[in-house]
């Protein structure tokens, strides 16, 4: 990922589903205007999901996910199907590709029901309409709309690019509007508000730039017409004095939280970048409850460290070395720590006393909420790296006072018998 690209976790995810050979990869190519996805008359050409980033105006950056056909036969087919189904949890919108000659059947009806159950907006793509007579295209389209109860369906041909602008319009119309999406910090400030950001520049800071969470926070503040003042922890006191007015909010790196808390007047709201990100990506209350569960760990407990992908972009040792060390140090217990990486958890979650999840930078909010939901269903507390590190740095409860659901979780946990 180039530094200037929108991170994948922030992009709208559009997953392309359908039977094998209906032209899913061809539809992705027609939409992106590139021949990146492999197309062939052989069924089951696409075996693993392929991610393709593009700008979809006026929506902005999206990721198209080309998937394996869902009706593969045999063992391998089962595996692929499972992988494809897991993508349902990451999709902000699904394209259902249907072959114009074959039409829709129960397979599509079931898939559509599954998507609707998860509140994922769906747009139907009746592909290969070039194989029909022009006069029959409208009839076939109406038939599919009626069969599926899916009025959002577009006549398309990847072969001659028919329907590309119509499909783009249908996608934009079906997606939730920007204002309905979850903000990073914009919902906490009003236009003209002053916000102070505390960014330590130590040996661990990357040379010559700010890290992504800091960049994204500044961007969101500017988009909200707020004023961002960036300072280091040592200059915070002087910065606050020179501002001449109380800032609306102070946001700091967790590492220097205690110093920043000491230098920030008690009546100025204070939080950390990792708390904002945890809230943006998931359910902060749930993660705070998970952090609290660290105190209840006992000798012999199993802890699962789950990373959502195999190529960790931050330092590689955070999940394998640092977190296990911190957990053992702070609890003083003999813990059995297991690791997993990829889209899915191991089968039996209930054997774990705690799940520690990565920062989920490659996942969108929907996918992360799904993973939190799975832990909750198994009755296992879950925390992410950012909230756990914040907790270990002593940011609670001050950094979560702004967020009622997180405070409730904190106080509930305090009342529970240890
Ligand atoms: N006539 C016509 N053929 C198409 C169209 N779209 C795709 N095809 C052909 O259909 C075949 C399958 O296309 P793919 O895009 O590979 O289909 P897929 O759904 O990705 O297939 P799998 O990955 O195997 O599931 C290829 O031979 C394409 O050239 C279209 O709009 N019109
Ligand atoms: S934080 Fe998670 S999703 Fe992001 S690179 Fe690391 S392992 Fe992958
Ligand atoms: Mg394909």
Q: Which ligand approaches the C-alpha of residue 39 most closely?
A: 1
pLDDT top residue among 348 and 12: 348
pLDDT of 161 higher than 50: yes
Q: Are 386 and 252 in contact (CB under 8 A)?
A: no
**Confidence label for 222 from pLDDT (cuts 50, 70 and 90):** very high
Residue appearing with tokens 């394996």:
68
| CA nearest to 304, candidates 378, 400, 361, 366 | 378
pLDDT of 276-322, one tens digit each? 999 998 889 999 999 999 999 999 999 999 998 776 555 568 888 98
Name the residue at shortest CA distance from atom 1 of ligand 1.
128
Helix or strand or coil: residue 98?
strand
Helix or strand or coil: residue 125?
strand
Contacts 24+ apart (CB under 8 A), 76-81: 77/44, 80/44, 80/47, 80/48
Quote the pLDDT of residue 58.
67
Q: Which ligand approaches the C-alpha of residue 41 most closely?
A: 1
The angle at the Cα of 102, spanning 101 to 103, to the nearest 5 degrees, equals 95
Calculate how far, in angstroms, residue 110's C-alpha sits from the geometric centre of ligand 1: 22
* Cβ atoms within 10 Å, residue 64: 26
Which of 113-117, 214-218, 366-370 is predicted least confidently? 366-370
Calculate how far, in angstroms, residue 44's C-alpha sits from the geometric centre of ligand 3: 7
**Confidence label for 377 from pLDDT (cuts 50, 70 and 90):** confident
**Confidence label for 180 from pLDDT (cuts 50, 70 and 90):** very low
Distance of CA 21 to the CA centre of its chain: 29
pLDDT of 110-121, one tens digit each? 889 988 888 789
Q: Hey, CA dihedral for 383, 389, 391, 396, is it positive or negative?
A: negative
- 312 Cβ closer than 6 Å to some ligand 2 atom: yes
Token pair for 249: 């909010």
Helix or strand or coil: residue 155?
strand
Residue appearing with tokens 């230098």:
263
DSSP state of 297: -
The answer to pTM > 0.75 is no
Average pLDDT, the chain: 87
Cα 174 to Cα 150: distance, rounded to the nearest angstrom? 12
Name the residue at shortest CA distance from atom 6 of ligand 2.
312
Calculate how far, in angstroms, residue 409's C-alpha sits from the geometric centre of ligand 1: 50
pLDDT of 179 higher than 50: no
Cα 62 to Cα 51: distance, rounded to the nearest angstrom? 10
* Nearest atom, ligand 1, residue 160 CA: 31
Element holding 333 (H helix, E strand): none
Mind giving me the DSSP string for 6-74?
PPGGGSEEEEEEESTTSSHHHHHHHHHTS--S---SSTT---S-EEEEEEETTTEEEEEEE---TT--H
Calculate how far, in angstroms, residue 40's C-alpha sits from the geometric centre of ligand 2: 33
Quote the pLDDT of residue 10.
67
Q: Are 219 and 273 in contact (CB under 8 A)?
A: no
Q: Of the spans 70-74, 167-171, 196-200, which averages the highest pLDDT?
A: 196-200
What does R_g of the chain's alpha carbons equal in angstroms?
Answer: 24
């Amino acid at each position: 990922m180039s530094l200037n690209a929108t991170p994948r976790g922030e992009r709208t995810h559009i997953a392309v589903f359908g039977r094998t050979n209906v032209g899913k990869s061809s539809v992705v190519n027609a939409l992106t205007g590139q021949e990146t996805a492999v197309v062939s008359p052989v069924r089951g050409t696409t075996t693993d999901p392929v991610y393709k980033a593009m700008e979809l105006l006026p929506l902005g950056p999206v990721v198209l996910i080309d998937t394996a056909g869902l009706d593969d036969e045999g063992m391998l087919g089962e595996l692929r199907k499972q992988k494809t189904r897991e993508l349902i949890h990451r999709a902000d919108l699904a394209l259902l590709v249907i072959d114009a000659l074959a039409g829709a059947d129960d397979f599509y009806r079931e898939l559509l029901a599954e998507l609707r159950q998860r509140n994922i907006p769906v747009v139907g793509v009746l592909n290969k309409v070039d194989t029909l007579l022009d006069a029959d295209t409208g009839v076939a389209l109406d038939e599919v709309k009626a069969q599926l109860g899916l009025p959002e369906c577009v006549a398309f041909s990847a072969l001659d690019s028919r329907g590309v602008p119509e499909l783009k319009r249908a996608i934009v119309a079906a997606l939730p509007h920007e204002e309905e999406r979850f903000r990073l910090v914009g919902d906490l400030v009003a236009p003209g508000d002053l916000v102070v950001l505390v960014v330590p520049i130590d040996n661990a800071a990357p040379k010559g730039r700010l890290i992504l969470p800091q960049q994204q926070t500044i961007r969101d503040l500017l988009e909200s017409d707020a004023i961002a003042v960036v300072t280091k922890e040592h200059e915070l006191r002087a910065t606050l004095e020179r501002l001449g007015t109380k800032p609306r909010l102070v946001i700091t790196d967790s590492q220097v939280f205690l110093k920043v808390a000491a230098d920030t007047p008690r009546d100025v709201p204070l939080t950390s970048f990792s708390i904002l990100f945890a809230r943006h990506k998931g359910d902060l209350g749930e993660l705070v409850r998970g952090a609290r569960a660290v105190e209840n760990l006992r000798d012999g407990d199993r802890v699962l460290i789950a990373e959502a992908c195999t190529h960790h972009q931050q330092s590689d040792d955070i999940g394998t070395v640092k977190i296990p060390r911190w957990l053992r140090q702070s609890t003083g217990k003999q813990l059995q720590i297991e690791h997993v990486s990829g889209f899915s958890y191991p089968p039996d979650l209930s054997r774990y006393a705690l799940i520690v999840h990565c920062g989920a930078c490659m996942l969108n909010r929907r996918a992360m909420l799904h993973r939190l939901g799975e832990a909750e269903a198994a009755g296992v507390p879950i925390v992410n790296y950012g909230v756990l590190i914040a907790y270990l740095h002593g940011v609670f409860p001050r950094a979560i006072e702004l967020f009622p659901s997180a405070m409730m979780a904190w106080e509930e946990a305090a009342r529970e018998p240890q």
